[in-house]
Structure 1
Amino acid sequence: MRTVFIFPAMEQAAVVALLDRLSPGQRHPWLMDGCLYGNLTSEDEYLYLDWEPEAVQGLSRACGRRPSWVLQVDVSGRVDGTVEVRRLTLALLTQGGIAMDDYSDHPWTADEIARDVVVDGLRFFDFRTHHERTRLTQ
């Protein structure tokens, strides 16, 4: 599984309502587009457990605070998932917020995702380039 972390500026209840519309009758996790599995996670000892300190600091700077909850979206490895991840992420960031993925520590804005911006050689959810770089350095 590949993972995207979405920190929307909207209220958590609005996120739940949107996910319920996208995935009627399916919660914990929400299953969207047949390949995205979303779970809300609140800040506790586990939310940032596997994060590098620099990534948490960058996220906190981008958000103006350390977010207390996140929508963690796992993407099935059996499909590409890029279109689905981008669509969901942009829907959740309409009022602002940040998304982060497994492939960089960059806090992505909706504008950067929509414009397909490249940061340090990677786009948002750019698993192909990341895997190619990893393969070349081994």
Structure 2
Amino acid sequence: MVAADRVYKREELKPIHDRCRCAVLPILRGADPGLMLNGEDLDRLYRAAGGTAGKKLTGLRVGIGEHGELGPILFPYGRGFRDAEEADADRRAGSIERRLQGLERSTRSLERQMAAGETRLRPLVGYQQRLIAQLCEELAA
């Protein structure tokens, strides 16, 4: 990935690293797929690896996929390219998980108050428990 922002003059390149299976993509009509990789992408890559040292980068794997509008793109190896529906589903799941965490904390707090003798909270605790069950079902679906 680090070499993706370079332009090479040869169709066939020697391996760049140990067990190299990197692909070479042509620059067509001025569209260089390597230019899609910018400093922010590299910074994100280095953060994910835990640094810029070769030993840290060896555990990171990426693949090349074909995007209908953008052309070749890089994605986490083994995960595949996500379309808009999959990305939306991931965002919804993250939102549901955050709501669940908040509801569970709140419900535990209310249950502690009920254990200390507060009786007016029973309907609220029941409502939150039903909401938690509903959100868990949404996540499982």
- The TM-score normalised by the length of structure 1 is 0.31
Q: Which one has a bigger Cα radius of gyration?
A: 2
* Greater strand proportion: 1
* Greater helix proportion: 2
- The TM-score normalised by the length of structure 2 is 0.30
